[in-house]
Amino acid sequence: MTSLSPPANKLWWNEPIEKTELLWISLVFVWGLVMTFMMPFWHITGDQNLSTETYRTTPEAFLAKAQKMVDKYTVRKDGPRQTPVVKPPAGSDVYLVARLWDWWPSLELQKGQSYRFHLSSMDWQHGFSLQPANINIQVLPDYEHVVQFTPNKTGEYSVICNEYCGIGHHLMIGKIYVVD
């Protein structure tokens, strides 16, 4: 009698379970509870919990809000594409536009301060990937995702795209500078 043939004992449900199996099942069940517990526990005690605050929007509406921020807080232009570098006040709303194929605008943030980031796409799906902090968030068109970031180290950060978005996907890169 093997796993290839019907069970020899037709009332197999009534067979006792082996001790090894019982031991393992108990251990694994408890481990499952521990892992289940970890996620809400981190929501309470951890500093990295992605907000799910989301609104429906349109590319036009979102771009208008981003443009307003850029007009108000641009401090300089940056790089070969002359991207505006925006220095928004600590605690304010920051709009980051994802589009084929750049992240717009560049940002200058203060270490230890919190910012309400609004993420949305003008066209296809993109992947906000902040390096080297390694924070990765899906960015979708027609949805405005509000996430709070608190940079904990100074330096130059890159926002690369890690959702495939067509032939220029690997050219899509933006910058965030964190200063004291």
Stretch that binds another protein, among 68-76, 84-92, 172-180 (CB under 8 A): 172-180
Distance of closest approach, residue 71 Cβ to another protein, in angstroms: 19
- Applying CB under 8 A, which of residues 67, 154, 162, 177 lies at the interface with another protein? 162
Q: Which two tokens stand for residue 38?
A: 């970890």
Nearest approach, Cβ of 137 to another protein (angstroms)? 5
24 near another protein (CB under 8 A) = yes
Sole binder of another protein in the list 17, 73, 96, 179 (CB under 8 A): 17
106-145: contacts with another protein (CB under 8 A): 114, 119, 121, 123-125, 127, 129-138, 140-145
Q: What is the helix (H) or strand (E) element at residue 49, kind and residue range?
A: none
- Kindly give, in sequence order, each residue whose CB lies less than 8 Å from that of residue 86, ignoring residues fewer than 6 positions away: 69, 70, 73, 74, 75, 94, 105, 106, 107, 108
The reply on whether position 67 binds another protein by CB under 8 A is no
Residue 89 contacts another protein per CB under 8 A: no
Distances (CA, A) of 14 to 4, 26, 32: 20, 19, 26
Q: Is 71 in the site for another protein (CB under 8 A)?
A: no
Say how many C-beta atoms besides its own lie within 10 A of residue 82's C-beta: 8
Residue 92 interacts with another protein (CB under 8 A): yes or no: no
Number of CB atoms found within 10 A of residue 39's CB: 10
